[in-house]
Amino acid sequence: MDRSEIIRWLKEEDPRRLKELYLRAYAVKLKNVGNHVFFRGIIELSNICQKDCLYCGIRKSNARVERFLMSKQEILESSKSALDMQYGSLVLQSGERTDLEFVDFVEDVVREIKALRDSNNSLGITLSLGEQTQETYQRWFDAGAHRYLLRIETSNSKLYEELHPADHSFSERLNCLEVLRKVGYQVGTGVMIGLPYQTVEDLADDILFFKDKDIDMIGMGPYLVHKDTPLAESIQEDIRKKNLELGLKMIALTRIHLQDVNIAATTALQALSLSGREMGLQSGANIIMPNITHTKYRKFYQLYEDKPCLDENASLCRDCLSQRIDSIGEEIGYNQWGDSPHFLKKR
């Protein structure tokens, strides 16, 4: 697909034509990555953040948030529950911190997860801990993490500047993606979909950006409002339905354009519709990230309103998810890392 075709599809509103698009993307998915869904149990280990992104509910200036950092013991317990539930991988995500104490803490946690008794190095680890120095990325990689997710948020540098305070830098974020690749990670990125001031041309350019940067994994999802953020003031209409559809179109078009990468059906889709993640799988996604954070912390990690599964424990989530995945005829790749075929081919 070229840019103009991607734009045409992003503007398409006819449900029958859209169904054709999703079927086409699904066929590309079956051919390139099969019908296995891989689970990454996500642990949201801290909401302490040194940054102030204008859209995010846990930005440092939001004084209404009660801050937490999970203890190493608690993170290891959640990791063990992932093993018990036969999830092949974990995602460790948090607000951004670059201080040495945090860097040491994460390194230690990653090493201990890898050394968990009975794990046999069976848990793959993806990190999503923001912008760091090359030395930090290297230390965490050497400790055992092998995938890193750092969303570019939008590939339009001007829009990026509008969504972030002046001390945040688009070029620094780009540079981090290069460094992650150099260190040896499978590199994931993504964008928020349906942001204020974002155009369909921007979204088409995001897909071209993923291809141009040779990205291995995509984690993108609809933008959702958090009332205690500056960006909330610029939202005049109910953007939920529009953003769900745009989110699905973006998954489908990314699958068709990039073919063999891993694509997540993110929680933000589920926040917009109970079956949002299954819809994502049927539009070309192949990864799901069930939340395995202890329920006592979940309400403090709200990037946006209406976060789903706030008080559902991890095993309930697993059972409900596996039924839902069964119901659409897909299989779950239990106990497997499910690495990006695109990355594996390059090696």
Give the residues lining the site for ligand SAM (CB under 6 A).
Answer: 55-56, 93, 95-96, 128, 130, 150-151, 153, 192, 223-224, 226, 268, 303-304
> What 3-state class would DSSP assign to 223?
coil
CA torsion 154→297→71→89, rounded to 10°?
-60
With a CB cutoff of 8 Å and minimum separation 6, the contacts of 346 are 214
Between residues 192 and 248, which has the closer beta carbon with respect to ligand SAM? 192
CA 163, CA 170: separation in Å to the nearest integer? 11
Q: How far is the CB of 118 from ligand SAM (least distance, A)?
A: 29
Q: How far is the CB of 275 from ligand SF4 (least distance, A)?
A: 26
The Cβ of residue 61 has, within 10 Å, a number of other Cβ atoms equal to: 13
Between residues 176 and 332, which has the closer beta carbon with respect to ligand SAM? 176
128 touches, from ligand SF4, ligand SAM, none (C-beta below 5 to 8 Å by class): ligand SAM
22 touches, from ligand SF4, ligand SAM, none (C-beta below 5 to 8 Å by class): none
What kind and span of H or E run contains 39? strand 36-46
Q: How far is the CB of 95 from ligand SAM (least distance, A)?
A: 5
CA 191, CA 268: separation in Å to the nearest integer? 12
223 touches, from ligand SAM, ligand SF4, none (C-beta below 5 to 8 Å by class): ligand SAM
CA 263, CA 193: separation in Å to the nearest integer? 15
Between residues 58 and 217, which has the closer beta carbon with respect to ligand SF4? 58
Between residues 64 and 117, which has the closer beta carbon with respect to ligand SF4? 64
59 touches, from ligand SAM, ligand SF4, none (C-beta below 5 to 8 Å by class): ligand SF4
Q: How far is the CB of 128 from ligand SF4 (least distance, A)?
A: 9
10 touches, from ligand SF4, ligand SAM, none (C-beta below 5 to 8 Å by class): none
The Cβ of residue 11 has, within 10 Å, a number of other Cβ atoms equal to: 9
CA 204, CA 277: separation in Å to the nearest integer? 22
